[in-house]
Amino acid sequence: MSFELPKLAYAYNALEPYIDAMTMEIHHTKHHAAYTNNLNNAIKDSENENKSIEEILKNISKYPMVVRNNGGGYYNHNVFWEIMSPNGGGEPKGDLLQAILKDFGSFEKFKESFNNAAATRFGSGWAWLVNQNGKLVISSTPNQDNPLMDVAEIKGTPILAIDVWEHAYYLKYQNRRPEYINAFWNVIDWNLVAKRFV
Ligand code: MN
């Protein structure tokens, strides 16, 4: 068994003007494809071939760095593609909204903390909304680390993710990471985030 690059549920230009088509295509067919291939090569002919990505990530401290970087890269982009859509924007509803209000006070405060985590991650990495058994927290991780990893400072299940590597925004936004982060709110599909929050 090997890990497969997922197909996107929308076209590369579907998230325009917030995320441009060329960035999406290169990000998916080059960057995500490379993480996937490198992960498969790193675990080839080992017992890890039969493990789920979640199983590998939760014991990542026992693996070589090549698995940490590429296993994280494989998983993180799966989440990222999954929670965006051309029908994004607005605010969450139902249980997810209630949990956000309980743990952050208001949607605006939540948005501010998430933006801050994404903007202040130095260098390459990710910002997350993490479910810790019903409690929501925000975190950010360097490189391709994520909250499923046993090495993460803040652990839990990621339900929302933003990639703040320069390859995620540089073609359209250059050094203006905060503009990209603001634009991202227009492509977050809260119905899809809610599906990850159970
Ligand atoms: Mn990326």
pLDDT one-digit tens code per residue, 45-100? 888 889 999 999 999 999 999 999 999 999 999 999 999 999 999 999 999 999 99
98: which 2 tokens?
Answer: 């209630």
Q: 107-120 and 177-184 helices cross at what angle (nearest 10)?
A: 140
Q: How far is CA 169 from CA 6, 15, 165, 173, 187, in A?
A: 21, 13, 8, 6, 14
For residue 168, report the distance from its CA to the centre of ligand 1, in Å. 5
Query: Could you tell me which residues are beta bridge partners of residue 174?
Result: none
**27 Cα to the center of ligand 1, angstroms:** 6
Cβ–Cβ under 8 Å, residues 174 and 155 = no
Q: What sections of 44-184 are H helices per DSSP?
A: 53-58, 65-82, 94-104, 107-120, 170-173, 177-184
Instruction: Read off the pTM.
Output: 0.97
Gap from CA of 117 to ligand 1 centroid (Å): 17
Q: How far apart are CA 195 and CA 96, in angstroms?
A: 9
From first CA to last CA, the distance across the chain in angstroms is 28
Q: What percent of the chain has pLDDT over 90?
A: 96
Contact 129, 160 (CB under 8 A): yes
Question: What is the 162 CA–ligand 1 centroid distance (Å)?
Answer: 9
CA of 30 from ligand 1 middle (Å) equals 10
Query: How confident is the model over 6-56, as pLDDT tens digits?
Result: 999 999 999 999 999 999 999 999 999 999 999 999 999 888 889 999 999
CA dist., res. 78 & res. 7, Å (int): 10
| Ion ligand 1 residues within 5 Å by Cβ | 163, 165
